[in-house]
């Protein structure tokens, strides 16, 4: 029976796996549960709602045709901010929230930056995070620059849902093609247009021919590809869906594998349609016969937050100091985390459930203190989780509120075989269930409740120094309020000490936070000596002590001093455990605070499959670079693994300098739950805001070619692509929730099961007869350790190298000694002869081998052109690049024109010579002969 129960549980977890927060489901070819959320910072404008409806309706038809009559948008919820006016047609959300939004309609990242983009930091075929549209884009004010909004929505949906990438590349807009010409990066090559420099000053714009760069042998930086406005090519949506004729994705037949696009790099030279056709969505559907119905829209308005704490007071909570630790964490939640205006109630449960507090709206500190009186003092009895949840629903009904969208925070440490009996009732209730599992025996079945209702799954062990329980409650800040109202965790640390031992440290309060700052210190035996100094060295005085709960706290009203705060805690008992937690809110509602979000790539995992840790650091939507980011992964029994996360574009990290720090996690010690916590620290002058345009954004259309003339669009806002502004020091911590691992061997094994990670940043440059390679070193176990050797092979064919790597020509790497993981590797070699005749490029790939002879996947394929493009003319003899009002099309290069002119002159000269000769002969024949 136990075996069957575990099997059912693992099956449920398998069906629920994946950490993407989207609630979208595919039902009979139609996407349901799509959430489009309007940010609270967007001014109220009902036109925006109508424009969203129009965009999605147009997109549904375009998507249906683009996917060969397979997919459409079935129903969509539009989430309206709490600060907009109430209307009768606005309903209360159920599980829908900003956390689950598929599309965010938010102000631009920077003023004037209205480019739509998809937050996507995972591998090919994996779902993205969300789509970002600005109000001006949705309102149709940017159609010239980005094309119709419905078409662009399909472009971004392909990023989000199917994990495909763009078929243009702003970093590499041109390349040397096999035709020995410079081509624009695009798919398909059938898209026609011209390459020009287009400059505007005031109302005056001039067009000039593109020069070639003497170093890259490609076009200069300011050169752009201008597509013909009227053409017949149908592909591709992932290049420029704004072209009227474009209505399909590039497929295997017309895909441009030469182009240095992200799609080629990330998806191993497969076309977007090949990736889409391999998706689970595609496999689970068939072609529709009839056209789909139009989308159905629901208008949902965020309302005040309703939370009921459902706390386990069974007998097992009396051990390992659990009851007291629960009270410490719950008090932190009530005093600091939960937002003003929220309604909060409380239920205790053991064998039965008891309503301890009906809903109270938090207006001031008075209501917070009143709720503290309802926390439990005794632990006894058994565990009835369903009784607790049902009583939580009753608390909400008692206040005449709808259960829809309300939150149950369920904390439990025990198993309850009857918990699954109320799963259907929970699903139908419309409530969101957040699970905090305390200890290794906390009921596993409740995970399904939190997953299907869109709640969080959090976990804490009995190791109090890890501060897991306080971190879990702190992670329950509302996701539906403006970022300026959310409580942010700046510090969370703990330490085991003997008598008179010290716990010293600092916490940085930067200028983006400092409002309602809260210090919490806990102990498990005797109150320590506590000293907290502000940035000027002044003591904050005595903290408020709660001896019953073994905690002391300091709440600083208003906005506090910016700088480095110092704390010193001295233990007064042996085997003492001390912790400190510091939270604060945004100092200014108009300045976004620095935030950290953490997650695993999956909620469940089976050994030996690796997992990936992600931590994203942003200020608003601007990535923060250069931070020191550390992940702490705690197992079921309290063992903690520490990982340094990197934003280097190698190993587990898909994109360099995107503000997402990543690392593989493979050191699984046991089966069961694990929890993730991330700490980020930014040193002064070491961290920067990355002001580059976001990755995976819609192609900006610089203009159109009409009758051979460029009709330019307004230029994109001038921002240096390499701009990185320095940022002040900061500290943040964040919980990444819980995940479950199975099939870990009970005894340690000497067998190596983890190969080196795939090299994903291989680059090649040709210098005369040598090719120089650079890449980031992988490790013996994915991105840890050092590999034993590299195998480098070359070919004149991309597909041969991709599909038959082991048969390609091998490069001699005897002198290449691998470095430690995440080091920079370089290698130079002479390519010699390759087997393909008339090869115009050399393609290079690497495979790593570890000490156990395990091999990595083949790297991304780098290439080097073996020729100078025909378009290339050295700058010093380049024709006069004067403004050209009627430039020729891109089909005729400069060299071709020169050849045509020379050829014409030769032909004319020959014709003239023959004509003169014939006429001369005729004249000579009519004259009388003379002699001597």
So which residues are the catalytic ones? 156
Q: Distance between CA 102 and CA 56 in Å, rounded? A: 13
- Contact yes or no for 310/409 (Cβ under 8 A): yes
Written in H, E and C, the secondary structure of 331-397 is: HHHHHHHCCCCCEEEEEEECCCEEEEEEEEECCCHHHHHHHHCCCCCCCCCCCCHHHHHHHHHHHHH
- Contact yes or no for 232/243 (Cβ under 8 A): no
> Per-residue DSSP letters for 760-795?
---EEEEETTEEEEEEE---SBBTBS--SEEEEEEE
In angstroms, the Cα distances linking 116 to 76, 126, 176, 293 are 19, 20, 29, 27
Q: Distance between CA 303 and CA 227 in Å, rounded? A: 47
Written in H, E and C, the secondary structure of 71-122 is: CEECEEEEEECCCCCCCCCCECCCCCCHHHCCEEECCCCCCCCCCCEEECCC
Q: Distance between CA 319 and CA 380 in Å, rounded? A: 11
Place of tokens 């539009």: 78
Q: Are strands 841-849 and 789-795 parallel, antiparallel or unpaired?
A: antiparallel
Backbone angles phi, psi at 555, to 5 degrees: -110, 120
Neighbours of 11 (CB within 10 A): 10
Q: Give the distance from CA 484 to its chain's centroid.
A: 22
Backbone angles phi, psi at 764, to 5 degrees: -130, 140
Q: Fill in the DSSP letter of residue 899.
A: H
Q: Fill in the DSSP letter of residue 86.
A: P
Q: Are strands 306-312 and 407-412 parallel, antiparallel or unpaired?
A: parallel
Q: Give the distance from CA 765 to its chain's centroid.
A: 30
Neighbours of 687 (CB within 10 A): 23
- Contact yes or no for 237/162 (Cβ under 8 A): no
> Per-residue DSSP letters for 484-537?
GGS-EEEEEEEEEE-TT-EEEEEEEE-TTEEEEEEEEEE-SSSPPEEEEE-TTS
Ramachandran category for residue 838: left, alpha or beta (phi over 0 → left; psi -120 to 50 → alpha): left
Q: Which of 415, 458, 402 is nearest to 434 (CA)?
A: 458
Q: Fill in the DSSP letter of residue 292.
A: P
CA atoms 823, 828, 833, 837: torsion sign: positive
- Contact yes or no for 500/543 (Cβ under 8 A): no
Q: Distance between CA 483 and CA 474 in Å, rounded? A: 15
Q: Distance between CA 373 and CA 29 in Å, rounded? A: 53
Backbone angles phi, psi at 906, to 5 degrees: -60, -45
Q: Distance between CA 81 and CA 404 in Å, rounded? A: 17
Q: Distance between CA 716 and CA 703 in Å, rounded? A: 11
- Beginning with the edge strand found earlier in the chain, give each strand of the sheet holding 223-227 in spatial order: 204-209, 193-201, 223-227
Peptide bond into 608 cis (omega under 30): yes
Partners of 530 in beta bridges? 569
Place of tokens 């905090």: 436
List the structure tokens of 575: 């085997």
Q: Distance between CA 600 and CA 676 in Å, rounded? A: 8
Place of tokens 């942010």: 488
List the structure tokens of 367: 């209501």
């Amino acid at each position: 029976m136990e075996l069957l129960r575990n099997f059912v549980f693992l099956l449920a977890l398998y069906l629920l796996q994946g950490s993407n927060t989207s609630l979208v489901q595919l039902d009979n070819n139609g996407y349901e549960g799509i959430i489009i959320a309007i940010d609270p910072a967007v001014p109220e404008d009902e036109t925006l709602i109508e424009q969203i409806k129009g965009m999605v309706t147009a997109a549904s038809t375009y998507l249906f045709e683009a996917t060969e009559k397979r997919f459409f948008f079935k129903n969509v919820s539009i989430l309206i901010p709490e600060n907009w006016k109430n209307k009768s047609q606005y309903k209360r959300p159920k599980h829908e929230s900003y956390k689950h939004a598929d599309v965010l309609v938010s102000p631009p990242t920077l003023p004037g930056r209205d480019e739509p983009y998809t937050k996507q930091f995972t591998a090919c075929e994996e779902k993205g995070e969300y789509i970002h549209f600005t109000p001006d884009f949705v309102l149709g004010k940017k159609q010239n620059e980005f094309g119709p909004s419905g078409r662009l929505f399909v472009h971004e949906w392909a990023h989000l849902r199917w994990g495909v990438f763009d078929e243009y590349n702003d970093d590499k807009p041109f390349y040397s093609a096999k035709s020995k010409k410079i081509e624009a990066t695009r798919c398909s090559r059938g898209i026609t247009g011209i390459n020009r420099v287009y400059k505007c000053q005031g109302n005056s714009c001039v067009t000039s021919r593109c020069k070639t760069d003497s170093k890259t042998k490609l076009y200069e930086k300011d050169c752009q590809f201008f597509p013909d406005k009227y053409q017949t090519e149908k592909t591709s949506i992932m290049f420029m869906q704004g072209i009227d004729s474009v209505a399909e994705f590039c497929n295997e037949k017309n895909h441009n594998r030469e182009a240095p696009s992200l799609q080629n790099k990330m998806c191993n030279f497969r076309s977007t349609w090949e990736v889409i056709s391999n998706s689970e969505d595609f496999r689970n559907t068939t072609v529709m016969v009839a056209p789909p119905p139009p989308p159905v829209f629901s208008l949902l308005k965020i309302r005040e937050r309703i939370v009921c704490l459902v706390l386990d007071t069974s007998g097992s909570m009396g051990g390992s100091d659990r009851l007291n630790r629960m009270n410490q964490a719950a008090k932190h939640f009530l005093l600091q985390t939960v937002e003003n205006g929220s309604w909060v109630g409380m239920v205790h449960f053991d064998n039965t459930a008891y309503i301890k507090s009906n809903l109270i709206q938090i207006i001031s500190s008075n209501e917070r203190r009143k709720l503290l009186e309802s926390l439990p003092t005794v632990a006894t009895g058994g565990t009835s989780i369903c009784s607790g949840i049902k009583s939580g629903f009753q608390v909400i009904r008692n206040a005449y509120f709808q259960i829809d969208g309300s939150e149950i925070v369920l904390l439990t440490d025990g198993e309850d075989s009857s918990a699954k009996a109320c799963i259907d009732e929970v699903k139908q209730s419309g409530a969101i269930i957040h699970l905090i599992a305390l200890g290794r025996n906390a009921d596993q079945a409740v995970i399904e409740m939190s997953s299907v209702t869109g709640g969080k799954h959090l976990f804490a062990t009995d190791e109090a120094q890890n501060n897991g329980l306080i971190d879990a409650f702190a992670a329950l800040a509302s996701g539906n309020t403006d970022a300026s109202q959310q409580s942010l965790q700046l510090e969370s640390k703990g330490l085991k000490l003997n008598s008179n031992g010290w716990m010293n440290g600092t916490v940085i309060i930067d200028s983006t936070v400092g409002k309602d700052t809260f210090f919490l210190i806990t102990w498990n035996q005797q109150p320590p000596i506590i000293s907290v100094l502000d940035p000027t060295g002044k003591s904050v005085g005595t903290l408020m002590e709660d001896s019953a709960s073994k905690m002391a706290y300091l709440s600083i009203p208003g906005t506090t001093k910016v700088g480095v705060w110092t704390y010193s805690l001295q233990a007064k008992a042996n085997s003492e455990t001390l912790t400190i937690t510091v939270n604060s809110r945004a100092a200014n509602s108009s300045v976004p605070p620095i935030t950290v979000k953490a997650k695993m790539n999956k909620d469940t995992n089976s050994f030996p499959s690796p997992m990936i840790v992600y931590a994203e650091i942003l200020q608003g939507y601007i990535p923060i670079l250069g931070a020191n980011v550390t992940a702490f992964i705690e197992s079921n029994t309290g063992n903690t693994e520490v990982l340094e996360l990197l934003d280097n574009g190698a190993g587990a990290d898909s994109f360099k300098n995107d503000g997402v720090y990543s690392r593989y996690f493979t050191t699984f010690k046991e089966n069961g739950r694990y929890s993730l916590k991330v700490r980020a620290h930014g040193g002064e002058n070491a961290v920067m805001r990355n002001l580059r345009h976001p990755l995976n954004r819609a192609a900006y259309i610089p203009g159109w070619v009409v009758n051979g003339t460029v009709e330019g669009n307004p230029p994109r806002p001038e921002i240096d692509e390499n701009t990185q502004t320095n940022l002040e020091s900061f500290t943040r911590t964040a919980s990444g929730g819980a995940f479950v691992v199975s099939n870990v061997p009970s005894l340690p094994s000497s067998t190596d099961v983890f190969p080196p990670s795939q090299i994903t940043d291989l680059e090649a440059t040709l210098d005369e007869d040598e090719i120089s390679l650079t890449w980031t070193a992988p490790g013996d176990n994915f991105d840890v350790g050092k590999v034993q050797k590299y195998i480098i092979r070359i070919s004149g064919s991309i597909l041969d190298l991709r599909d038959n790597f082991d048969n390609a020509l091998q490069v001699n790497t005897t002198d290449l000694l691998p470095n430690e993981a995440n080091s920079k590797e370089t290698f130079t070699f002479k390519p010699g002869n390759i087997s393909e005749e008339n090869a115009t490029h050399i393609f290079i790939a690497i495979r790593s081998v570890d000490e156990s002879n395990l091999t990595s996947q083949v790297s991304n394929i780098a290439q080097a052109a073996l020729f100078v493009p025909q378009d290339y003319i050295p700058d010093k003899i380049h024709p006069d690049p004067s403004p050209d009002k009627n430039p020729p099309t891109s089909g005729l290069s400069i060299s071709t024109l020169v050849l045509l002119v020379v050829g014409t002159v030769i032909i004319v000269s020959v014709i003239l010579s023959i004509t003169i000769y014939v006429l001369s002969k005729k004249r000579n024949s009519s004259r009388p002969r003379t002699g001597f």
